[in-house]
Amino acid sequence: MKKYSLFTVLIGIFCLPNLFYGQTSITVEETEDAPIISKHIYGHFAEHLGRSIYDGIYVGEDSEIPNKDGVRTDIIEALKDIQIPNLRWPGGCFADTYHWKDGIGPKEERPSIVNAWWGGVTEDNSFGTHDFLNLCEELGAEPYLAANVGSGTVQEFSDWIQYVNHAEGSPMADLRKENGREQPWNVKYWGVGNEMWGCGGNMTPEYYANLYRQYATFMTSWENENNLYRIASGANQDDYHWTEVLMRDIPKHLIEGVALHSYSFVEWQDKGSATDFNEAQYFSTMKTALWMQELIDKHTDIMDKYDPENEIDLIVDEWGAWYDVEEGTNPGFLYQQNSMRDAMIAGVTLNIFNNESDRVKMGNLAQTVNVLQAVALTEGEKMLLTPTYHVLKMYTVHHDTKLLSVEFESPNYTYNGESLPAISMSASRNDAGNVNISLVNIDAEKENKVEIDVDALDVENMTAEILSSAELQDHNTFDNPDNIVVKEFKDFKLRRGTLEVTLPPFSVVVLKQE
């Protein structure tokens, strides 16, 4: 009988591929009561803030920059490519200073407004209700109007609904027709104010709950009283008392959704640069991004107490990364670059939303163009797509698909004595029966290998894409807009019902069944 030394045996064990070391086992299953991942989880947010609307989206019909009715055609094409499902407008904090009638009628006759929240600049109201709703029609996206509660009136709010939704035979419908729009837009999604705990009026939740009841009572679409989707201004991050009061004090027949706002940031200092950061700052930012899971869990627990039937949705209508503005830009414009760190934030956040899609029915990334974690940046005629944009495009496979159950224990990403789960994942099956899997490895240094049991799902003919780069700080610039792009991914195997995938450091991988 041949003899082996202990050293030889140990070497043999550790050299066996994917058997004892560095492997994470994941089980993906189908459950009967699994929710649908609403495409509206992948929504966006465009506020009158800095260069978001003017210059970012809207340049005017007389601009030399190619446009359709004043809206940049490159932005239109980019948003269509990520199948944008909804767009929130006009704010944000701006919403509760905005009076919609200032933005209709002949552009040369519209009054100007000082944007008191963002830079103190004067705007001419050339981009208004018609411009926004026509843009949404062009994009095939549902408009989400955030209405003025902080400085407006119930009558003003009710008139806006009538203006955009009433077909004919009313003063506001007649006014809309005078302004060139015959048919109503039939806007479904309405925010009843924004951040009422802060810029919306510094209200207590008890006061706002009563005010909300008043506004919601006077909301009707006339054609169908039940087709408006009313969203209450919800909590700031972990203000669980705010959610408690809204769920307790607002009758169910007056509300369809409760909002939640949470941004990712460096915990222990000023926000820091979007591109000049170290691993400590990266780790801290990812910690606040992953905090989204706890926030949803705890807010959902409160909602379950008052709404066990799951009739009221959680709407995370502001999320994303918040850093210092780029050097030399207006501090009130919130213009920041977008690196691989932001791709990590987008990937893990969207996986959380997918996995919590029984309660989370809409999300709105802040913001679409030139502000915070934007999907696109503009500079004159130039436009670039950010790493965040590419993640959203990769994840379109999850739109309106059935959630698959995922079970695993993630390996740790450890830095300076603290640990975070390194791997984030969600999976779905579309109407054609094809399985889609999105994986994120946030570890700044180590690759992670995963073994995914898909035997029960009848999976075959998988293809994959990856978003990765050499450095976390890498980003796209106007001189090098394709520095970070989605590429074909081949470092995986599917055999006998098992997917074996090697995830590089700080990467996003999406596998699709063809």
CA 439 – CA 421 distance, rounded (Å): 12
- CB-based contact 311:252 (threshold 8 Å): yes
320 strand-pairing partners: 263
**Which residue, 267, 265, 196, is CA-closest to 235?**
196
263 strand-pairing partners: 320
| Residue with tokens 């055609």, as numbered in its chain | 73
Whether 195 is catalytic: yes
CA dihedral 260, 335, 278, 507 (to 10 degrees): 70
The one catalytic residue in 318, 327, 379, 409 is 318
Question: φ and ψ at 500, to 5 degrees?
Answer: -110, 120
CA 467 – CA 345 distance, rounded (Å): 13
Question: What count of other Cβ atoms lies within 10 Å of the Cβ of residue 138?
Answer: 15
3-state secondary structure of 389: helix
Question: Which helix H or strand E contains 162, and what residues bound it?
Answer: helix 154-165
The one catalytic residue in 195, 225, 244, 267 is 195
- CB-based contact 328:336 (threshold 8 Å): no
- CB-based contact 51:333 (threshold 8 Å): yes
Tokens representing 447 are: 């690759």
Tokens representing 364 are: 């709105």
Q: Helices then strands (H, E): number in the chain? A: 10, 27
- CB-based contact 374:421 (threshold 8 Å): no
CA 263 – CA 373 distance, rounded (Å): 10
Tokens representing 404 are: 């698959």
Q: Which residues of 246-357 form beta strands (DSSP E)?
A: 257-264, 313-321
Single-letter residue type at 10: L
Between the alpha carbon of residue 393 and those of residues 83, 345, 435, 460, 490, the distances in Å are 8, 15, 17, 23, 19
Q: What is the DSSP string of 23-60?
A: EEEEEEE--TTPPEE-GGGGEEE--SSTTSTBTTTB--
- CB-based contact 72:57 (threshold 8 Å): yes
Single-letter residue type at 480: N
| Catalytic residue positions, numbered | 195, 318
